[in-house]
Amino acid sequence: MTRAGLADTGLAGTGQLTRLALRRDKIALVATVYVIVALVAGTAYTFKKLYPTAAGRAALAATGEGNPALRFLYGRLYGDSLGSLTTWRYGIWAGIFAALAAIFVVIRHTRTDEEAGRLELVGSTVVGRAAALAAGLLTAAAPSVAIALLLWVALPFTGLPAAGSAALALGIGACGLAFTGIAAVAAQLSSTARGARGIALGVLGVAFVLRGVGDAAGAGGPSWLSWASPLAWIQLARPFTAERWWVLALPLAIFALGVCLAFLLASRRDLGAGLLPDRPGRPAASRLLSGPFGLAWRLQWGMLAGWAAGYAFTFAASGAAAKGVGQLFGTSTALQREFTRLGGQAAIVNAYLAALMLLAGLAGAAYATSAVLRLRTEETEGRAEPVLATATGRVRWALSHIVVAVAGTVLLLAVAGVATGLGYGLRAGSAGAEVTRMLGAAFAQLPASLALAAVAVLIFGLRPRAAVAGAWTAIGLVVAIALFGQVLQVSHWVLDISPFTQTPRLPGGTVTAAPLLWLCLAALAFGVTGLSGLRRRDIG
Amino acid sequence: MNAIEVTGLRKSFGRTRALDGLDLTVRTGEVHAFLGPNGAGKTTTIRILLGLLRKDGGEAVLLGGDPWRDATALHARLAYVPGDVTLWPSLTGGEIIDLLARLRGPRSAVDTKRRQALIERFDLDPAKKARAYSKGNRQKVALVAALASDAELLLLDEPTAGLDPLMEAAFRECVNEERHDGRTILLSSHILSEAEALSDRVTIIRDGRAVETGTLAGMRHLTRNFVDAELAAPVSLDGVPGVHDLDVQGARLRCQVDHAALNDVLSRLTAAGVVSLTCRPPTLEELFLRHYSAERTTAGARS
């Protein structure tokens, strides 16, 4: 289309904006695509080496299908071919990573730019009203499309059948596209990038829980819940076992719907505005807002409230699902054997609940890290300067946010424990006992979660420019070790890096105090080193 | 005692040398203008004085203390307006004003009457969320927070950037009142008329060094006067020492005259018969321009 023709549609300049966005993000985009493709294709290859015999694969498949905790974390398993195992272990998680990339990219190039006022500068040039949204969508769709194409080409090279490879590759790519559409709508709803990310990540969280509960459900349980989740569609298309291609149309429909809705919403609002107008606030500060701690609380409570609501929903629903998880599908001998190996009904429920608590700990580490990194945002945005130019010292300023991070993590784990205990206990008829038991199991994760927050403090104090990337890399590493370490038979040295490897598997496991104490000491040492680094360095 | 005493201050960021042996003295109770073009090192100096940056070398004494070591104790006695004011988008202007006052220390109570008067004077809506403020309004929030405090030293980094002329006038009024109250003010600026109207003394910096410091009167002493005269009869000033840029059109004469030659030139003019005469000192703009263009030409000639 010509430029004049595009001008009528409000899309003039989309090409230039897309090129600009791709250039700003090229390293991150290439790295994301590479990691996801390498993860899936690499695993398919590794599985072939680790499980060369049909018997070995059948045993792994029996473990996967028989253990509800694994079904909750990785999804359902259809068949025991290499392709099926790869789809089971990585399909959903590759979809989650693709969705995360899509969410961050869309919002970064739409709402973040708008909030920072950069779109105003761009909008004053010959650029259509809808061009920024279109460019953000194109940029965010790029990694999803690239992942789909590269996996489609790469997977057959690892020896997997072509049809199944295509279904898995397209399923992961389409999942990324679905969340591209969802994030585009979120970017229109909220007037802040933080809020938009919260909405989109909330949808991703709900999608994960719905399919987790659906997939973990035993025979006669609410398995249909999985159909409500875009993440589950990757496996429901059944790559490598009689592919159901029509399932792939579902995420593409979500993408199309999201894009249309986003453009519609964008055309009906002013630049800079969300759908909810800003109300006037208090003309004077309340007593609460009277020091660095009051300020940190004021800045962070909204995010914490969102997390707490997410935790309450996730763990109440997942806990309630624990009741039926021990019911076996069918009566295959392999599954029966797995059932006994795990220790029967009670042990299976415990393993499932322990997996939930591991998830609570990992998410808690992510929350604590983002709360600590608020310090870095305040510093780079120039908002630390006016605070530090008052009688507030650096350590006190940093501690104000760290205290919120620690208290928030304690709160979230408490919510996880109570919600799981209530969800399961009310159905099992022993709510009181389950709440106490699960509360203990949740708090066992606290040292590991806080150790990761302390890593963020350490990097923030010593190498502030690397703080955001470094802290999130640490989280990514720990999540990867927790989810994929064991099945890939990674050496113990690598597994032991993660504080969650040191954490007892509760409920059901045995508790030893020593590793938890060591974790607390390490967290304290990291924190103190980070703060003393902060005292010595330049601000800004 | 001096409020600020800086000698030989040095600071580098990687390979860039931001401050290269800066000297700056601000006497207690004076309004001191800190002038220089963008990137001269004004903000870096202020940030070192605030203990946000660590100096590489030289001496800096602020209110009798070490700005790095005694930062928090000193900050209770000063108020700061950053050059680029960024505020917390979810807080209102009124909340931020109160918050900054409370952060300054438990002893610095908010003077609500004074706060209200300043808010009215600067025509600020304190109930608005900071994300809805324009650049000028953000500046006003920071200014009201600083001026409402009882700090003995105000560090103002380009405080009028973004203010409209009406608000600029209100700001000047405030600064003059503060001066009467005996507060010390360091005012960084590249707007020279502002410094001219407000300051007792001036330090001009360039490339991280102070190139000139003193009262404006003292600086004019080193400079030329502009003479514009209409005479009864033409007069020749060709070759008279201390006369520059001579422009004669019939009986109309314009030139620049060195301070020392002024008496000699005026007597020659009155001898010819003066119809009208304007003789004025240079504005700070002219002084500034001359200073820099001269520096640039010498630098150009050297290379």
Domain boundaries, chain B: 2-219, 224-280
Contacts of B12 in chain A (CB under 8 A): none
Is A281 a member of any domain? no
Paired tokens of A364: 């808690």
Instruction: Select the residue from B99, B119, B139, B158 to test the A interface by mutation, using most A Cβ atoms within 10 A.
Output: B99
Six-digit token string for A452: 């990761």
The candidate with the shortest Cα–Cα distance to A195, out of A360, A282, A305, A295, is A305
Question: Do B184 and B153 meet the contact criterion of CB atoms below 8 Å apart?
Answer: yes
Q: Answer whether residue B108 shows pLDDT above 70.
A: no
CA-nearest residue to A381 within chain B is: B86
**Do residues A348 and A336 lie in contact, with contact meaning Cβ atoms separated by under 8 Å?**
no
User: Is residue A270 domain-shared with residue A307, that is, in the same domain?
Assistant: no
Closest CA to A100 of A19, A33, A153, A167: A33
Q: How far B148 CA sits from the closest chain A CA (Å)?
A: 14
A 453-492 residues with CB below 8 A of B?
none
> Which residue, among B248, B269, B245, has the nearest Cα to B257 in the 3D structure?
B245
| Chain B partners within 8 Å of A392 (Cβ) | 72, 75, 103
Q: Which CATH number is associated with domain B224-280?
A: 3.30.70
Contact A212, A72 (CB under 8 A): yes
Same domain assignment for residues A344 and A454 = yes
CB A408 within 8 A of CB B93: no
A267 and A326 both lie in a single domain: no
> What integer pLDDT is reported at residue A8 of this predicted model?
58
> What is the Cα A263 distance to its own chain's centre?
26
Q: Say if CB B115 and CB B144 are below 8 A apart.
A: yes
A298 touches chain B (CB under 8 A): yes
Distance from CA of B157 to the nearest CA of A (A): 12
Taking the C-alpha atoms of residue A250 and residue A233, their distance in angstroms, rounded to an integer, is: 8
- Average pLDDT, rounded, for chain B: 87
d(CA B100, nearest CA chain A) in Å: 7
In a 3-state reduction of DSSP, which class is residue A326?
A: coil
- A386–B80 CB contact, under 8 Å: yes
Kindly tell me if the per-residue pLDDT of B240 is higher than 60: yes
Residues A16 and A133 in one domain: yes
Q: B104 contacts in A (CB within 8 Å)?
A: 390-391
Q: How many CB pairs under 8 A join A and B?
A: 116
Retrieve residue A24's tokens: 């700003």
In the DSSP assignment, the letter for residue B154 is E
C-beta atoms surrounding A277 within 10 Å: 8
Whether residue A228 is found in the same domain as residue A293: no
The answer to whether position A370 is within a domain reads yes
CA distance A233 to chain B (A): 39
Q: Which residues contact A301 (CB under 8 A, 6 or more apart)?
A: none
Q: Locate the chain B residue with the closest alpha carbon to A395.
A: B72
- Reported ipTM: the value is 0.80
Chain-centre distance for alpha carbon A432? 31
A202 and A333, same domain (yes or no): no
User: Would you state the CATH architecture of domain B2-219?
Assistant: 3-Layer(aba) Sandwich (3.40)
- Structural domain ending residue among the three candidates A275, A308, A331: A275
pLDDT higher than 50, residue B265: yes
pLDDT band at B93 (very low <50, low <70, confident <90, very high): very high
Separation of alpha carbons A4 and A19, rounded Å:
20
Please tell me which of the candidates B51, B86, B142 has its beta carbon nearest to residue A381.
B86
- Relative to beta strand B243-249, strand B16-27 is unpaired
Both tokens of B232, joined, read 């009864």
Collapsing DSSP to helix, strand or coil, B222 comes out as coil
Note the pLDDT of residue A106.
94
The Cα A401–Cα A406 span in angstroms is: 9
Residues 6+ apart with CB under 8 A from A64: A70, A71, A74, A77, A85, A88, A89
The phi, psi pair for B126, rounded to 5°, reads -75, -10
pLDDT range class, residue B293, cuts 50, 70, 90: low
The answer to whether the beta carbons of residues A66 and A338 sit under 8 Å apart is: yes
Q: Which residues of B touch A291 (CB under 8 A)?
A: 102-103
Strands B57-62 and B2-13: antiparallel
Tokens of A533: 């680094």
Query: What phi and psi, each to the nearest 5 degrees, are found at residue A445?
Result: -80, -15
Whether residue B190 contacts residue B36, with contact meaning beta carbons closer than 8 Å, is answered with yes
The conformational region for residue B6 under phi > 0 = left, psi -120 to 50 = alpha, else beta, is beta
Same domain as A166, residue A308: no
The β-bridge partners of B92 are B129
Residue A283 lies in a domain: no
In chain B, which residues have their Cβ closer than 8 Å to the Cβ of A292? Answer: 103
Question: How far is the C-alpha of B180 from the C-alpha of B193, rounded, in Å?
Answer: 21
Q: Would an 8 Å CB–CB cutoff place A277 in contact with chain B?
A: no
Of A324, A291, A147, A140, nearest to A225 by C-alpha is: A324
Distances (CA, A) of A502 to A46, A365, A451, A487, A509: 26, 15, 12, 18, 12
The domain total for chain A is 2
A285 with B86: Cβ contact below 8 A? no
- Say if CB A172 and CB A98 are below 8 A apart: yes
More confident of the two residues B197 and A34 = A34
Instruction: Count how many residues are written for chain A.
Output: 540
The count of residues in chain B is 303
Question: Which among A295, A383, A393 is the nearest to B71, CB-wise?
Answer: A393
The series of mean pLDDT values per 10 residues for chain A, 540 residues long, is 54 85 89 90 85 86 83 88 90 94 92 80 75 91 95 92 95 97 93 88 93 85 90 94 94 96 87 68 86 94 92 91 71 68 79 92 96 94 92 94 97 97 90 92 96 97 94 92 80 88 87 91 97 93
Whether chain A has a CB inside 8 Å of the CB on B102: the answer is yes
Q: How far apart are CA A422 and CA A19, in angstroms?
A: 51
Note whether A417 and A456 are same-domain residues.
Answer: yes
Integer Cα distance of B146 and B140 in angstroms: 10
A419 and A491 part of one domain: yes
pLDDT at B106: 67
- Give me the domain span that covers residue A187: 11-275
Given the DSSP bridges, would you call strands B184-189 and B201-206 parallel, antiparallel or unpaired? unpaired
Q: CA of A284, closest CA in chain B: separation in Å?
A: 5
Q: Are A254 and A317 found together in one domain?
A: no
Which residues of chain A neighbour B162 with C-beta distances below 8 Å?
none
Tokens 């049809």, residue? A163
Same domain for A313 and A385? yes
Q: Of the candidates A251, A275, A299, which is a domain's last residue?
A: A275
Examine the domain organization and report whether A355 and A394 are in the same domain.
yes
* A156 alpha-carbon distance from chain centroid: 29
Tokens standing for residue A412: 């979230």
* Spacing of C-alpha A44 from chain mean position: 23
Q: What is the DSSP letter of B233?
A: S
CB < 8 Å to A539, chain B: 47, 52-53
Cross-sheet strand order for the sheet of B2-13: B16-27, B2-13, B57-62
Subunit contact A538:B53, Cβ cutoff 8 A = yes
- CA distances A51 to A61, A200, A249, A420, A475, Å, are 11, 38, 33, 35, 29
B100–A280: do the CB atoms touch at under 8 Å? no
Cα distance from B2 to chain A (closest Cα, Å)?
20
